[in-house]
């Protein structure tokens, strides 16, 4: 395949973290094919990937929906039109980066690319071809996809997340009156929401830690999307100390500009955690449900997961470097201790 190839990357996921964790593998792909036209087959809410990572991705091709992939409703006519359209000028490579391939490999095969590649679910015994490899069940999400690009012949040890904050982002932050007034203050951002309710640490525990940090002189700023405003409101109501609640009032770029000014982020396991990792902003992440070995940031000195006891797994070196709580739901004292150690430089960051 030459450098002017047309490449499709299948990753039709909603999450900010899902997409940021794919960036190191996309960098490896771009280094291998610096002049290729690379299209992301993804969801409309991920247009920001093209805006922020235009050097890695050239275009967004909207995922039409497919049976068994829940991120978009399936309509047979939409899928038929999509397949007919992409097969008129077939991709040279279709790279499946949407999970184990149990369902997404069938969608990738329909694209009719000259070559297809990705992972396959070894339990299904159907590899889809010589450029498909067994899905690694236990790996950090970033390393999982770098493992795939390495298997395809473009290895990379560059596993950094990244997110560029622009002058426009900073200007927009400055135009938000309440946030502009924080200039010079020591800020801790608290992000109590999450798409999945089962990942949300209890409101009263967020409030307790936020109050304790406010007593230490930090200005608490509650962040989140519009959908997460209710969670932020509940924390604000439960707090005894002054707070600024901007959940639903910031764009992705504004949130990034705010985080780069913060001393710390306290959050559930959600996209804000990965944005903080990309910006090198210290964070404490509470894990209640998802696999921390897979989803915790790679830098465990700068980013401190506090993991529910039920998620601990014997023999995992990576999990062994995280804080395992005394119970399935970490208590406020455990989370506050990790936050205080980060803010006081105990971990050397």
**180 plus 146 within the same structural domain:** no
CATH of the domain at 178: 3.40.50.2000
Q: Are 264 and 189 in contact, with CB atoms under 8 Å apart?
A: yes
Helices 203-215 + 229-238 axis angle, to 10: 60
How would you write the pLDDT of the chain (349 residues) with one tens digit per residue? 766 899 999 999 999 999 999 999 999 999 999 999 999 999 999 999 999 999 999 999 999 999 999 999 999 999 999 999 999 999 999 999 999 999 999 999 999 999 999 999 988 767 788 999 999 988 999 999 999 999 999 999 999 999 999 999 999 999 998 998 898 899 999 999 999 999 999 999 999 999 999 999 999 999 999 999 999 999 999 999 999 999 999 999 999 999 999 999 999 999 999 999 999 999 999 999 999 999 999 999 999 999 999 998 877 899 999 999 999 999 999 999 999 999 999 988 8
* DSSP label of 329: S
* DSSP label of 268: E
**133 plus 235 within the same structural domain:** no
Residue 312 lies inside a defined structural domain of this protein: yes
- pLDDT at position 2, please? 65
Q: Are 295 and 141 in contact, with CB atoms under 8 Å apart?
A: yes
The domain boundary, picked from 151, 181, 201, lies at 151
- pLDDT at position 15, please? 94
Q: Which residues contact 240 (CB under 8 A, 6 or more apart)?
A: 207, 211
Q: Are 270 and 193 in contact, with CB atoms under 8 Å apart?
A: yes
| DSSP per-residue codes, 130-199 | TTEEE--SSS-HHHHHHHHHHHTT----------PPPHHHHHHHHHSHHHHTTTTS-EEEEE---SSGGG
**143 plus 171 within the same structural domain:** no
Residue 200 lies inside a defined structural domain of this protein: yes
Residue 184 lies inside a defined structural domain of this protein: yes
Q: How many structural domains compose the chain?
A: 2
Residue 160 lies inside a defined structural domain of this protein: no
Residue 158 lies inside a defined structural domain of this protein: no
The domain boundary, picked from 151, 184, 209, lies at 151
* DSSP label of 21: T
The domain boundary, picked from 151, 176, 209, lies at 151
Residue 93 lies inside a defined structural domain of this protein: yes
d(CA 238, CA 243) in angstroms, rounded, equals 11
**48 plus 140 within the same structural domain:** yes
Kindly report the pTM of this predicted structure: 0.96
**193 plus 331 within the same structural domain:** yes
**195 plus 313 within the same structural domain:** yes
Within 10 angstroms of residue 4's Cβ, the number of other Cβ atoms is 10
**88 plus 173 within the same structural domain:** no
Helices 271-279 + 252-259 axis angle, to 10: 50
d(CA 294, CA 269) in angstroms, rounded, equals 11
What's the number of CA atoms in the CB half-sphere (13 Å) around residue 232? 23
Residue 1 lies inside a defined structural domain of this protein: no
**192 plus 132 within the same structural domain:** no
Structural domain of residue 211, as residue ranges? 167-343
**115 plus 27 within the same structural domain:** yes
Residue 23 lies inside a defined structural domain of this protein: yes
**145 plus 171 within the same structural domain:** no
């Amino acid at each position: 395949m030459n450098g002017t190839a047309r490449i499709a990357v299948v990753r039709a996921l909603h999450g900010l973290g899902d997409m940021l964790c794919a960036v190191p593998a996309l960098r490896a792909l771009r280094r291998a094919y610096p002049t290729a036209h690379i299209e992301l087959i993804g969801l409309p809410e991920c247009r920001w990937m093209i805006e922020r990572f235009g050097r890695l991705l050239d275009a967004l091709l909207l995922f039409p929906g497919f049976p068994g992939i829940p991120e978009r409703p399936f309509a047979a006519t939409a899928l038929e039109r999509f397949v007919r359209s992409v097969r008129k000028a077939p991709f040279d490579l279709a790279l499946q980066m949407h999970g184990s391939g149990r369902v997404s490999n069938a969608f990738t095969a329909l694209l009719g690319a000259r070559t297809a590649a990705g992972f396959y679910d070894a339990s299904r015994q159907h590899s889809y071809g010589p450029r498909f490899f067994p899905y690694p069940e236990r790996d950090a999400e970033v390393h999982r996809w770098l493992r795939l690009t390495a298997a395809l012949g473009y290895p990379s040890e560059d596993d950094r997340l990244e997110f560029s904050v622009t002058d426009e982002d900073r200007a927009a932050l400055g135009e938000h009156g309440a946030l502009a007034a924080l200039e010079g203050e020591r800020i801790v951002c608290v992000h109590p929401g999450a798409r999945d309710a089962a990942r949300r640490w209890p409101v009263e525990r967020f409030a307790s830690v936020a109050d304790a940090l406010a007593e230490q002189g930090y200005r608490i700023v509650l962040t989140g999307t519009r959908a997460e405003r209710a969670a932020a409101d509940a924390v604000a109501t439960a707090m005894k100390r002054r707070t600024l609640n901007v959940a639903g009032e910031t764009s992705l770029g504004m949130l990034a500009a705010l985080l780069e000014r913060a001393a710390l982020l306290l959050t559930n396991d959600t996209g804000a955690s990965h944005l903080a990792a990309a910006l090198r902003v210290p964070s404490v992440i509470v894990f209640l449900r998802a696999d921390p070995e897979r989803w915790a940031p790679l830098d465990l000195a700068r980013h401190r997961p506090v993991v529910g006891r039920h998620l601990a797994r014997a023999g995992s070196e990576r999990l062994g470097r995280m804080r395992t709580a005394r119970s399935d739901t970490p208590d406020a004292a455990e989370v506050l201790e990790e936050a205080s150690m980060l803010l006081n430089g105990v971990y050397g960051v």
